[in-house]
Chains A and B, each alone.
Chain A
Amino acid sequence: MGVVNKVVNWARARSPWLLHFENGGCNGCAIEILAALMPRYDLERFGAVVKGSPRHADILLVTGAVNRQIRDRLIRIYEQMPEPKFVVAVGTCACSGGIFNGCYNAYQGAASVIPVTAYIMGCPPKPEAIILGAYTLVQKIRGG
């Protein structure tokens, strides 16, 4: 790995900007993500900031079950993100479909639509679990 790459990865791992995308769920995971970002758990100490646009984001946080209607929107948002991009499936619904698994309009997890880098299980996952997932992903980015 060259020196430039090392510097870029160092910078990238210290400012993972997030985009949160809620597919079609109960908002439980969304609340936990917000709880993780708020001062009590303070995910922002790792440099994570929630952005309003996919064009500014490095990490896409996917929550909720991916259904047929939202599928194309999710793909479009994923394609708008600049490389390198990472997708984290937060919650059981985004990981495997959860209780909607086998339903006529729900995909069995976000991974059947877009490539997913990390999975955070739980219904909803605790803020600690989200922080551990984010930390593990950042470690991965740092490694190159």
Chain B
Amino acid sequence: MSSSQEESLVENLKALFKDNVLETKLPMSRRLFVAVSPDVYEDVIKFLVKEKQVTHLSTMTGMDLGEKIEVLSHFFGLGMEITIRVAVPKEKPEIKSIVSIVPGAVFYEREIHDLLGVTFIGHPDLARLVLSEDWPEGEYPLRRDYKVQPPKPLREV
């Protein structure tokens, strides 16, 4: 066996998306991290789902990196776990939605929109999912600059 399936997928992605593949990491066998630029994010997902038949979206997570907010889509396919990482600037956290390609992403994107404030363009309905209905607009509890404080009690204890 000349190259593993992981390495051949990395070569495949690099040949297709060139400099837009920012970083690839193979920490162990059957585990792959690919950081891509926001411009090709949708195309990378489309390539994985349509060409490579990687259709199982395990979950989507988000992370506050300080200057940027990272959205991670964890796919399972080709015998490995593939994580597509894309970072968006905190001033304008917008990224294209992948719901049209992977319908299962609809709840994950709503959750990330709730907790980190990333707007997914093209999402059918970005209503609140985990936060309460009376949660103030523009406050995102999983951002690092958010001051955590419990809600004020309604009565004296």
- Partner pick for A67 among B132, B154, B155, CB 8 A cutoff: B132
Please state if A112 and B148 are interface contacts (CB–CB under 8 Å): no
Please state if B141 and A68 are interface contacts (CB–CB under 8 Å): no
- Partner pick for A97 among B148, B150, B154, CB 8 A cutoff: B150
Q: Does A91 contact B (CB under 8 A)?
A: no
How far in angstroms is the closest Cβ of chain B from A88? 16
Identity of the chain A residue whose Cβ is nearest the Cβ of B157 in the assembled complex: A111
CA distance A105 to B134 in the complex (A): 11
How far in angstroms is the closest Cβ of chain A from B1? 47
Q: Does A102 contact B (CB under 8 A)?
A: yes
Identity of the chain B residue whose Cβ is nearest the Cβ of A112 in the assembled complex: B153
Q: Does A64 contact B (CB under 8 A)?
A: no
Q: How many A residues are at the interface, by size bracket?
A: 20 to 34
- Partner pick for B135 among A68, A106, A109, CB 8 A cutoff: A68
CA distance A48 to B154 in the complex (A): 30
Q: Which residues of A contact B153 (CB under 8 A)?
A: 107-108, 112-113
- A70-110 CB contact bits vs B (8 Å, 1 = yes)? 01000100000000000000000000010001111111110
CA distance A68 to B152 in the complex (A): 10
User: Could you tell me which residues of chain A, from 1 to 30, have a CB within 8 Å of some CB in chain B?
Assistant: none
Please state if A112 and B132 are interface contacts (CB–CB under 8 Å): no
- Partner pick for A68 among B132, B146, B155, CB 8 A cutoff: B132
Please state if B157 and A104 are interface contacts (CB–CB under 8 Å): no
CA distance A101 to B62 in the complex (A): 24
- Nearest first, the 7 closest Cβ-Cβ pairs linking A and B are A112-B153, A68-B132, A69-B132, A104-B141, A111-B157, A104-B148, A113-B154
Question: Would you list 20 pairs from A and B whose C-beta atoms are within 8 A, ordered by A residue?
Answer: A69-B133, A71-B132, A71-B154, A103-B150, A104-B141, A104-B146, A104-B149, A104-B150, A104-B151, A105-B132, A106-B151, A107-B150, A107-B153, A108-B153, A108-B157, A109-B157, A111-B157, A112-B153, A112-B157, A113-B154
User: Interface of B with A (CB < 8 Å)?
Assistant: 131-135, 141, 146, 148-151, 153-155, 157
Q: A106-B151, A108-B157, A114-B155 are in contact. List 17 more A-B contacts (CB 8 A).
A: A68-B134, A68-B151, A69-B131, A75-B154, A97-B150, A102-B148, A102-B150, A104-B148, A105-B132, A105-B141, A108-B150, A108-B153, A111-B155, A111-B157, A112-B153, A113-B153, A113-B154
